[in-house]
Amino acid sequence: MFAKRQSILATTAGAPPVRRSLRGNFAPVGRILKKPPVAVAAAGLLLLGAAALFITVLGDPRAGAPSARAALKREAAAVAPPPTGLEAFSVGAYGSWQDLAGEGGAVDPNLAGEAVITLPNGATVSGNGAPVTAPRVAASPLPAAPIAGLSQPGPNGPLPTIATDGRVPAQAYARPFRSNGRPRVALIVGGLGLNAVTTRAAIERLPAEVTLSFVPYAEGLQGWIDLARAQGHEVMLEMPMEPSGYPDNDPGPHTLLASGQPADIQARMNWLLGRATGYFGVTNYMGDRFATSDSGMSAFLTILRQRGVAFLDDGSMSRRPGAWARASANRIIDEEQNPTAIVAQLNALEALAKGQGQALGTGFSYPVTVEAVARWTADMDARGLQLAPASAMTQRPGR
């Protein structure tokens, strides 16, 4: 085999190369293209190529058809600010406040301020959204509710009533108070019962003399009131009243309406007052529109007077006498939800109390409010003040 291959190479080594024509080179390709299947495929490819060239050169074949073009731009999601002190007294707005809380009730630091202030006693209050860190207060229990003789069956639950011996809920469920002659300051912290973390913090970390106000829609309301009284707090119930812009601005079901007739006011209050027992008084839950209704306010206050229940408003209804006993707040302490503003309002209450003998403030159960109140009240004795329950600020109409 090897010798034969060598002889062939020797024979052709000196021969000139064979020259083949172009037609000869493409002859095999022509024979293949003459086969019918191959010819059809080649024609199809040629047609597609021509169409592509036509589109490329002459433009979009759909250029004559109607068309529309819109530029889409995704807007960044806006972060809702925390509600104001007034807005937070509505059920819907309170839900938005809860949305700011993460696990354990801590507020998202990105949505809160960074101010830290130092109180005269050296305690600090931060607005960075941290949970309440004031120390727990020792319990000073009040009698468990209901107290015999102070309630009667109602269509939706037990209703407060004046006992046959003359005892009234406004006195029996109030925290006992004895003045020491110093200027006194009373504080109401409201909006409780909807958020378990802040409700428990208010109950456990605020002094027993601080009055707590509960939302009537809260689940387990009686349990929260019982816990608050066991700790020593007197409690109130919040009455939803028609605000400006109702129903877009809606404080919830069973709202007392400015247009309501006495029978309607009575039916709604039966539901609200029957939600729990153990409260000495009620407070308004919004209600600037309802306050303008003479007939509505008259029916409301008459029912409270007949049932021996006090009414303490947030300062917006101070010219409306009635109920079994009355008081109006001098200031809302947390319309600005930062520690500096809240402590400034508390200091203003202190100055007012020293000037006129007493002052009443009200606020919402924001963590920063609970923290600030707990720290601010810790050394009131050293500042020549006496912390009093809100019931101590009430007066009987005409007295």
Look at 65-74, 76-85, 256-265, 285-294 and tell me which has the smallest mean pLDDT: 76-85
Q: What confidence tier does 70 reach under pLDDT thresholds 50, 70, 90?
A: low
Query: pLDDT at position 227, please?
Result: 98
What gap in Å lies between CA 150 and CA 139, rounded to an integer?
24
Distances in whole angstroms, Cα of residue 36 to Cα of each of 48, 248, 293: 19, 79, 98
Estimate to the nearest angstrom the gap between the alpha carbon of 366 and the chain centroid: 9
27-41, 142-156, 237-251: segment of lowest average pLDDT = 27-41
Write the pLDDT tens digit of every residue in 162-218: 999 999 999 999 999 999 999 999 999 999 999 999 999 999 999 999 999 999 999
Q: Note the pLDDT of residue 67.
A: 55
- Whether residue 367 is predicted with pLDDT greater than 80 in this model: the reply is yes
If you average pLDDT over every residue of the chain, what do you get? 81
Residue 4 pLDDT greater than 70, yes or no: no
Q: What is the mean pLDDT of residues 32-51?
A: 65
Q: Are 372 and 339 in contact (CB under 8 A)?
A: yes
- Give the mean pLDDT of 124-136: 69
Higher pLDDT, 164 or 87: 164
**pLDDT score recorded for residue 322:** 87
Separation CA 349–CA 105 (nearest Å): 29
**pLDDT surpassing 70 at residue 120:** no
pLDDT band of residue 55 (cuts 50, 70, 90) is low
396 confidence band (pLDDT: 50, 70, 90): confident
For range 221-239, the mean pLDDT: 98
> What are the structural domains of the chain?
87-138+164-393 (3.20.20.370)
- One DSSP character per residue, 75-132 reads PPPPPPPPPPTTGGGSHHHHHHHHHTB-GGGPBPGGGS---EEE-TTS-EEE-S-PPP
Cα(281)–Cα(326) distance, integer angstroms: 9
Question: Quick check: 268 pLDDT over 90?
Answer: yes
Q: Count the neighbouring beta carbons within 10 Å of the beta carbon of residue 183.
A: 21
What pLDDT is stored for residue 357 in this prediction? 97
Whole-number pLDDT of residue 104: 40
Residue 22: the pLDDT is 52
Measured in Å, how far apart are the chain's first and last C-alpha atoms? 138
Helix (H, G, I), strand (E, B) or coil at 241: strand
